[in-house]
């Protein structure tokens, strides 16, 4: 393959709007004034913002050029592992923008919010069905808050039994926010190492699980892209000591319609609607981290909860054992609409989406394992993890190969995570990328590996074709420029 998405061409520089503006330029026409002119208070003149005078073409070109500096999922593939940066159907964005939903005020009474409340109730039911759990709350605003909510529920459960506990088991393949979420609830995170196959062993968990341990936080599939095959045995060990099993469901995109979390022994599960269920992920925009629980823990879910009374949907706070509110309003309601529409439109094809995500990841793994070191050579789930072990002999590192990929027109994969793999290169192709796109990415990576051996300086100095060249990352970390 000789053609790659990356190319040289017109990458235009663009000054600040204040540097472009000239007094007297206009990008609009105002109607003739029909009132008398009034003098401006001299004291207020200094408070008027100094906005530049610009023509219409100045404004249009400015923002068009800035948009060309960005890379987004509409531009190309995002192979970021553990993030599920998949392409999402635009129809769901359009439906979320319907006036009745987008224009709803957060203080509208329940009787004027029946459509929104019904959608939320049905989405909770859909997510319970998909995961195999019993009850769901949509209140957590993002994945990390979903984790925190799950830990608060487990804390409340042990408190209700009159036996508060002090520790939580966290695997080395868990997502990075898991220990922090546990610590915020007063738990001491206790690390458990994965075995030589990259998964947890029941024996390792049994050695740590005791009556002071509240439970375990498992990411399944884990951050190595591997399914925790011993999860049921691990759950039995934790339950036998009175603990609870929390599962980080950020990687649910790999197991929709396939894995029944309830039958695995999971007690609490959070989801990322902004990863798995059709909302663009990243950029600081709104997310959603619903929490799913077993019937035993339902009473602790946050309030208010959507209930149906006498044929009317209501937000109720009549749950005395609830952990309380974790989110004041539902400002991320648009994320829920997109998830609801995605589930309705996909139906049983949700399972097919997961199957294709797993197929794509295994295809990338099989095609690259001859040129990159593969720490765990076994079938993976949604992502595969390589390392720079082979290239380190040539004094080429993961970060250098990732930056050289940018010259070929590809966003780099996740690097240096998970920490259990030195020099990790984590690739998640998702189900929405075609074989042709995957082949282009694979050939680009192979070309970078070849350059590492034959022309290492080209890789060390990458990127060379991007808008911004190689940055001094050490200086940026030690002396960050925080000025606006």
Q: What is the pLDDT of residue 280?
A: 84
Q: Indicate the residue among 287, 318, 346 that finishes a domain.
A: 346
Q: Are residues 28 and 177 in the same domain?
A: no
Report which of 162, 139, 92 is spatially closest to residue 346, judged by C-alpha positions: 92
Task: Count the alpha carbons within 13 Å of 400 in the hemisphere toward its beta carbon.
Answer: 19
Q: Is residue 379 part of a domain?
A: yes
Q: What is the pLDDT of residue 283?
A: 67
Q: Are residues 336 and 191 in the same domain?
A: yes
Q: What is the pLDDT of residue 82?
A: 85
Tell me which of 329 and 241 has the higher pLDDT. Answer: 241
Query: How large is the C-alpha radius of gyration of the chain?
Result: 26
Q: Are residues 330 and 377 in the same domain?
A: no
Q: Are residues 393 and 318 in the same domain?
A: no
Q: Are residues 228 and 151 in the same domain?
A: yes
- Cα-based torsion angle of the residue sequence 438, 443, 446, 448 in order, rounded to the nearest 10 degrees: -100
- Cα-based torsion angle of the residue sequence 262, 265, 269, 272 in order, rounded to the nearest 10 degrees: -70
Q: Is residue 7 part of a domain?
A: no
Q: Is residue 159 part of a domain?
A: yes
Mean pLDDT of the chain: 93
Q: Residue 253 is part of a domain; what is its CATH number? A: 3.40.640.10
Positive/negative CA dihedral, 314, 317, 322, 323: positive
Q: Are residues 57 and 202 in the same domain?
A: no
Q: What is the mean pLDDT of residues 91-101?
A: 95
Q: Are residues 243 and 308 in the same domain?
A: yes
Q: Indicate the residue among 319, 346, 373 that finishes a domain.
A: 346
Q: Is residue 4 part of a domain?
A: no
- Pull the structure tokens for residue 375: 């720490």
Q: Is residue 77 part of a domain?
A: no
Q: Give the bridge partners for 80, in sequence order.
A: 427
Q: What is the pLDDT of residue 140?
A: 96
Q: Indicate the residue among 326, 346, 366 that finishes a domain.
A: 346
- 328-354 pLDDT, tens digit per residue, is 889 899 999 999 999 999 999 999 999
Query: Is the pLDDT at 367 greater than 90, yes or no?
Result: yes
Q: Residue 382 is part of a domain; what is its CATH number? A: 3.90.1150.10
Q: What is the pLDDT of residue 70?
A: 85
Of 93-102, 236-245, 443-452, 460-469, the least confident: 460-469
Q: What is the mean pLDDT of residues 468-481?
A: 85
Report which of 327, 331, 309, 330 is spatially closest to residue 318, judged by C-alpha positions: 309
Report the domain count for the chain: 3
Q: What are phi and psi of 263, to 5 degrees?
A: -70, -20
Q: Is residue 79 part of a domain?
A: no
Q: Is residue 369 part of a domain?
A: yes
Q: What is the pLDDT of residue 10?
A: 75
Strand-strand pairing, 135-137 and 291-293: antiparallel
Q: Map residue 66 onto helix, strand or coil.
A: helix
Q: Are residues 218 and 329 in the same domain?
A: yes
Helix residue ranges, H only, 113-142: 114-131
Q: Report how far apart the first and last C-alpha atoms of the chain are (Å, whole number).
A: 43
Q: Are residues 332 and 365 in the same domain?
A: no
Q: Are residues 208 and 332 in the same domain?
A: yes
Q: What is the DSSP string of 428-461?
A: ---TTS-HHHHHHHHHHHHHHHHHHHH-HHHHHT
- Residue 290: domain span: 91-346
Q: Are residues 189 and 338 in the same domain?
A: yes
Distance (Å, rounded) from C-alpha 56 to C-alpha 52? 12
Q: Is residue 85 part of a domain?
A: no
Of 70-74, 273-277, 304-308, 318-322, the least confident: 70-74
Percent of the chain with pLDDT over 90: 80
Q: Are residues 440 and 469 in the same domain?
A: yes
Tell me which of 281 and 293 has the higher pLDDT. Answer: 293
């Amino acid at each position: 393959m000789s053609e790659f998405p990356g190319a040289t061409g017109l990458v235009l520089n663009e000054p600040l709007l204040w540097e472009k503006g000239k007094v007297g330029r206009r990008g609009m026409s105002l109607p003739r004034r029909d009132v008398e002119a009034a003098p401006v208070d001299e004291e207020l003149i200094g408070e008027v913002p100094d906005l530049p005078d610009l023509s219409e073409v100045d404004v249009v070109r400015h923002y068009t050029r800035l948009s060309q500096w960005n890379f987004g999922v509409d531009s190309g593939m995002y192979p970021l592992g553990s993030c599920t940066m998949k392409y999402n159907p635009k129809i769901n964005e359009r439906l979320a923008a319907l006036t009745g939903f987008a224009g709803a005020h957060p203080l509208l009474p329940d009787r004027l919010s029946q459509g929104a409340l019904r959608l939320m109730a049905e989405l909770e039911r859909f997510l319970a069905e998909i995961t195999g759990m019993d009850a769901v709350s949509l209140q957590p605003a993002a994945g990390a808050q979903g984790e925190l909510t799950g830990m608060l529920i487990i804390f409340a459960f042990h408190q209700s039994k009159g036996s508060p506990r002090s520790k939580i088991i966290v695997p080395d393949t868990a997502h990075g926010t898991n220990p922090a979420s546990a610590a915020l609830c007063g738990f001491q995170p206790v690390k458990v190492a994965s075995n030589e196959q990259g998964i947890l062993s029941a024996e390792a968990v049994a050695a740590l699980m005791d009556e002071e341990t509240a439970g375990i936080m498992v990411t399944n599939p884990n951050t190595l892209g591997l399914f925790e095959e011993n999860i049921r045995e691990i759950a039995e060990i934790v339950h036998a000591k009175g603990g609870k099993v929390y599962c980080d469901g950020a990687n649910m995109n790999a197991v929709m319609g396939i894995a029944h979390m309830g039958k695995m022994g999971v007690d609490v599960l959070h989801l990322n609607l902004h990863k798995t269920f059709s909302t663009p992920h990243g950029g600081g925009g709104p997310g959603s981290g619903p929490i799913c629980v077993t019937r035993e823990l339902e009473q602790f879910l946050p309030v208010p909860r959507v209930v149906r009374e006498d044929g009317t949907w209501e937000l109720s706070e009549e749950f005395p054992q609830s952990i309380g509110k974790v989110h004041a309003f539902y400002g991320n309601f648009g994320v829920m609409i997109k998830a609801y529409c995605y589930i309705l439109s996909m139906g049983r094809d949700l399972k097919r989406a997961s199957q294709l995500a797993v197929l794509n990841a295994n295809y990338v793994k099989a095609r690259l394992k001859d040129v990159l070191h593969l720490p765990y050579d076994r079938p993976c789930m949604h992502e595969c993890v390589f390392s720079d072990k082979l290239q380190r002999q040539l004094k080429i590192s993961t970060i250098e190969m990732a930056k050289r990929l940018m010259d070929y027109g590809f966003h780099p994969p996740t690097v240096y995570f998970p920490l259990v793999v030195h020099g990790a290169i984590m690739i998640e192709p998702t189900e929405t990328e075609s074989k042709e796109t995957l082949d282009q990415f694979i050939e680009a990576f192979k070309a970078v590996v070849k350059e590492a051996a034959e022309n290492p300086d080209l890789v060390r100095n990458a990127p060379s074709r991007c808008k911004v060249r190689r940055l001094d990352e050490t200086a940026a970390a030690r002396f960050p420029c925080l000025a606006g």
